[in-house]
Amino acid sequence: MQSAKRPPGPQDGLAASAAATKPLATTKTSRSVPDGAEAMTERDIKRLIPRVVQLETTRAPLPAKIPVSRSQVADVLPFLLSKEARYQAAFERTDGRDYLLIAGKLGDPVSKVELASEPHGPRAGSPVARIAAIARIAPPHKPLLGLRVALDPGHFGDIEDLREGKFVTSGPPPQNPETIPPDGLTEGDLNAISARNLARRLTSLGAEVIITRQGRVTRTENRAYVNALLDADPELAKRVGNRGLFLSALDLERRAERMGAHHPDISIIMHFDAEVNQVSADARHEVKIYVPGCFSRDSIDSKLGRARFVQQCASTSWNASAELAATLVKSICKTTGAVPQVPGKTGAVDPKFLLPVGNDTGVFARSLRLPHAVPGEPLSVYLEGATYNHPDIFPLVFRDRGTTYGAPGGFLDSYAKSLADGLVAYVRSKR
């Protein structure tokens, strides 16, 4: 997961990147990959397996010391651990030094990480520091000049989303989904259109943007190869458990690597929400955004999970992520007419896995693999931008099916503009 360090100065690569306006290079497999898509190679799969099954051999050592103080960790700890996992973290003071203690599985030794004696601000060259510098020096017509943004359009599109239930139809859902029904739309396609539109807008504002995928991704070959590996290794198959979830986890780790290689200041994971697979009069026109946190008890039990938890504790961008998320929620609601999801009033919020951040902001801490896996302390937001099985929203987004960027002035076009406007507002607030 470690990438080569990039020079931290705000002038680094201030010219807008052309990479956001053209498809990423495809990775070769034994069959063709859809245009603009990237598939994992067999080498990727072999390399990622130890990380995903969270073996003790995975490269996830805990640091002996992290550059944040006890007060800084205590400030965010209520959001970084789910309520069921809070007993697994505690503070200790020994010989005038503060430590964070993390308990794993019963019988495992307690992990001990030393904390700084004084609160620290963002380090030089960190995403938070870079954003502040960009806000001061960017010209008015290029307010995001030099900002590095990584976009991940969630899911895969087309048949893969049908298999996973990530689609909505205006009629009855297909019983044996093999192709997208004429009255249906998959979330992966919706996410990709929105990401391409947002990338184009951010690039025009001066940002350097990458997208983890711009087309549909087929996992047929990956699935066959992984099944063959697991069939040949019963012990590994036992550790893996659900093969479908395992394959998705492999893909998420690969996406995290692509995002991390860009050294992003901001990572945006793009999703839409649907309560059922059909247009429903009961659907709520709400928006919510997740920020990394709310580690579950099971995730802290693993070596990899503890390493990523400590990584979040050491991050100086957590509060900034929450602030950016709140700004984006306001911008989306202003443009689309949605309302923020409010815990306890609308939507299902399980306090074991989802924690509200702020009062009625539509921002929640949630334990999700991809935001936790992206290295480098970027501000990280995971969007659930609209409920697309809402009877008023579905026909608007359905019109954009099959387009590259969405119809000019249409819902997805306005949605992408609201995200770009929100990013500009956030960056300018840091002057």
Q: Residue 360: its pLDDT value, please?
A: 82
- Dmax over Cα atoms in the chain, in whole Å? 69
Least confident stretch, 3-12, 221-230, 328-337, 368-377: 3-12
Tokens of residue 111, six digits:
């992990």
pLDDT band for position 26 (50/70/90)?
A: very low
Answer whether residue 78 is part of any domain: no
User: Which positions ≥6 away from 338 have C-beta within 8 Å?
Assistant: 285, 286, 287, 332, 386, 387
**264: three-class secondary structure by DSSP:** coil
Backbone angles phi, psi at 81, to 5 degrees: -120, 135
Q: Residue 198: its pLDDT value, please?
A: 97
Answer whether residue 3 is part of any domain: no
Q: Could you give the CA distance from residue 406 to residue 358 in angstroms, rounded to a whole number?
A: 33
Strands 286-292 and 363-366, how do they pair? parallel
pLDDT digits (tens, 9 = 90+) for 263-284: 999 999 999 999 899 999 999 9
**Residue 11 in this model has a pLDDT that exceeds 60:** no
Strands 167-169 and 184-186, how do they pair? antiparallel
pLDDT digits (tens, 9 = 90+) for 393-423: 999 999 998 899 999 999 999 999 999 999 9
**Residue 392 in this model has a pLDDT that exceeds 90:** yes
Looking at per-residue pLDDT, the higher value among 314 and 5 belongs to: 314
Q: Residue 29: its pLDDT value, please?
A: 31
Q: Could you give the CA distance from residue 128 to residue 124 in angstroms, rounded to a whole number?
A: 9
Looking at per-residue pLDDT, the higher value among 16 and 82 belongs to: 82
Tokens of residue 378, six digits:
């970027």
**Residue 95 in this model has a pLDDT that exceeds 70:** yes
Answer whether residue 335 is part of any domain: yes
Closest to 413 in 3D by CA, of 426, 425, 396? 396
**Residue 15 in this model has a pLDDT that exceeds 50:** no
Answer whether residue 420 is part of any domain: yes
Buried b (16+ CB within 10 A) or exposed e, 9-34: ebeebbebbeebeeebeeeebeeebb
- Residue percentage of the chain with pLDDT more than 70: 88
Answer whether residue 8 is part of any domain: no
pLDDT band for position 158 (50/70/90)?
A: confident
Task: Supply the CATH number for residue 146's domain.
Answer: 3.40.630.40
Rounded average pLDDT over 96-125:
90
Per the structure, the count of domains in the chain is 1
Domain coverage including residue 394: 18-61+123-428
pLDDT band for position 344 (50/70/90)?
A: low
Least confident stretch, 80-89, 202-211, 380-389: 80-89
pLDDT digits (tens, 9 = 90+) for 299-333: 888 888 889 999 999 998 999 999 999 999 999 99
Q: Residue 209: its pLDDT value, please?
A: 96
Q: Residue 6: its pLDDT value, please?
A: 42
pLDDT digits (tens, 9 = 90+) for 184-236: 999 999 999 999 999 999 999 999 999 998 888 877 778 889 999 999 999 99
**Residue 71 in this model has a pLDDT that exceeds 80:** yes
Tokens of residue 351, six digits:
């306090």
**Residue 345 in this model has a pLDDT that exceeds 70:** no
- The β-bridge partners of 355 are 365
Rg of the chain over Cα atoms, rounded to whole angstroms, equals 21
Quick check: 104 and 306 in contact, CB under 8 A? Answer: yes
Closest to 412 in 3D by CA, of 205, 189, 183? 189
Q: Could you give the CA distance from residue 276 to residue 265 in angstroms, rounded to a whole number?
A: 34
Q: Residue 30: its pLDDT value, please?
A: 30
Answer whether residue 385 is part of any domain: yes
| 0.85 exceeded by pTM | yes
Backbone angles phi, psi at 399, to 5 degrees: -60, -25
Q: Could you give the CA distance from residue 246 to residue 252 in angstroms, rounded to a whole number?
A: 10
pLDDT digits (tens, 9 = 90+) for 161-193: 888 889 999 988 887 767 788 899 999 999 999
Answer whether residue 1 is part of any domain: no
Answer whether residue 6 is part of any domain: no
**176: three-class secondary structure by DSSP:** coil
Terminal-to-terminal C-alpha distance of the chain: 32
